[in-house]
Amino acid sequence: MQNVVTQLFRVLVGGLFIFSGLIKLNDPMGMAFKLEDYFAPDVLNLTFLTPFALSIALFIVIAEVLLGVALLIGWKTKITVLSLMGLIVFFTFLTFYSAYFNKVTDCGCFGDAIPLTPWQSFSKDVILLVLILWIWRFQHFIRPVFAPGLQNLSVVVALVLCGWMGWHVLRHLPFKDFRPYAIGKNIADGMKPAEELGLEPPKYLTFYTLVNQETGKEEVVDSDAYVKDRWWEKPEWQIDGERTFTKLVRKGYEPPIHDFDLIQEGEDITEMVLELERVILVVAYDLRKSNARLHAKVNSFVNEAEALGVQTYGLTSTDPVIIEELRHEWQMPYPFAVADQTTLKTIIRANPGVVLLEKGTVVGKWNPRDLPEAGSLFK
C-alpha cells in the first residue's frame, strides 16, 4: 500500500512541477516582474536582488521542470527530493506572506494561465509539502526508470530544451498569451464594468475596530452595520483608524482590464486611440531599459506604416523629460503617451514591443526582431 501511494504521489508531484515550470517558462518575464514585487521595499525589502530578478526567475522555473522530470524518472532520488523540499518550502513562504500580509495578491504559481488567490496558492503549496514529505519518508520505493546513462541523458535533454525555450520567448514573445491583451481581445470590452454587462460585481466592505473609551471594550463592525446601527451617534465608541481594513465579502465579475489610461500632455486620449481604424502602439514600459538597436527596427516599420496612413503612438511610464531626450536621440518619429507601468508590462512582454489595434481589438503583437514588412501588413 505504501508503495502504491508513493508512486501515485511521485507522479502527481512530478507532473505538477513540470506543468507549473513550463507555464512560467512560457513567460519568464512575467515571473521576473512578480519577483520584483516581492523584492520591493514595502514587501520583503530585498531591492538589491531586483536587477537579478529575471535570472532568478529563469533558474527557479527551469529547476521546477528538471526536478519534476528527475522525480518521474527516478534520477538521484535523494538529491531530487531534498531539492523539491527546499523549493516547496520557498514557495510556501512566499504564498503565506502574500496571503497573510496581502502584499502581493497573485503569487504567479501558474502564471496568467490559472490565476489563484493567495490563500489558494498557500493551500496548494501546503498539500504539495505534505506529499513531498511522504515521498521523502518512503523514497526507497522509487526505482530508476532507465539505465544510468539514459537517466543522465534525459535530464540533460530536459535542461537543453528548457534553456532553448527560455531563450526563445525572451527574444520573441511567449508561445501562448494568457493575458487580457492577447491577440483577438478587445480592450474596450475588457474594461466594461459588471453593471454594464448585467453581471454581479464583487462586494467589498470596510471593517472598523471600535473602542469604547469608558470600558476599553472593542467591537469590529463592517461599514453596512456601522451605518445601519448609527455608530457615529455613540460618542463613547471611537474608531481605531490603524486597524481599519477592507475585505472582499462577495465574489463577482471584475473587468480584466482596469488601468488602461493613456495620458498625453495632461489629456486622456484612451477613447480616441481605441476608436481609431488602425493604430500602432510602441510599448516601452521603461525607455531607460530599452534597446536602441531594437528601436531602430521599430522606427523603420513605423515610417513605412505611417506612409501608408497608419498612425502610431508610443506608450511608456518614463518621465516626460527622459522621453523627450531619448525620442530625439533615437529619432523616434511618433508622439508618446504615458501609462501605468504594470499595465504596459502586461500588454506585451517586450521593451520595446509593437502592438497593432483595429478599433480597439488587438490584431498583432511583435517583438521588434519579428516585425513583418509594413507594406505587406497594410495592403
pLDDT at 106: 67
pLDDT tens for each residue of 343-354? 999 999 999 999
Q: What is the pLDDT of residue 78?
A: 93
pTM of the entire predicted model: 0.86
Q: What is the CATH number of domain 263-377?
A: 3.40.30.10
pLDDT over 90 (residue 172): yes
Residue 251, pLDDT score:
85
Model confidence at 117, in pLDDT bands (50, 70, 90)?
A: confident
State the pLDDT confidence band at 107, using cuts at 50, 70 and 90.
low
Average pLDDT, integer, range 97-117: 74
Q: What are the distances in angstroms from CA 290 to CA 78, 282, 316, 341, 352?
A: 44, 12, 11, 14, 6
**Strand order from edge to edge, sheet including 336-338:** 267-268, 263-264, 336-338, 311-316, 279-283, 353-358, 361-366
pLDDT tens, residue by residue, 179-221: 999 999 999 999 999 999 989 998 888 999 999 998 889 999 9
Instruction: Classify strands 311-316 and 279-283 as parallel, antiparallel or unpaired.
Output: parallel
Place of cell 516599420: 301
| Residues of the chain by 3-state class (helix, strand, coil), percent to 5 | 55, 15, 30
Distance of CA 278 to the CA centre of its chain: 28
Quickly state the pLDDT bin for 241 (edges 50, 70, 90).
confident
Please give the pLDDT value at position 344.
96
CA distance 242 to 342: 28
Which of 37-41, 110-114, 285-289 is predicted with the least confidence, judged by mean pLDDT?
A: 110-114
Question: Where in the sequence of the chain do the CATH 3.40.30.10 domains occur?
Answer: 263-377
Q: For 303-332, how does the pLDDT look when each residue is reduced to its tens digit (9 = 90+)?
A: 999 999 999 999 999 999 999 999 999 999
Give the pLDDT score at 108.
64
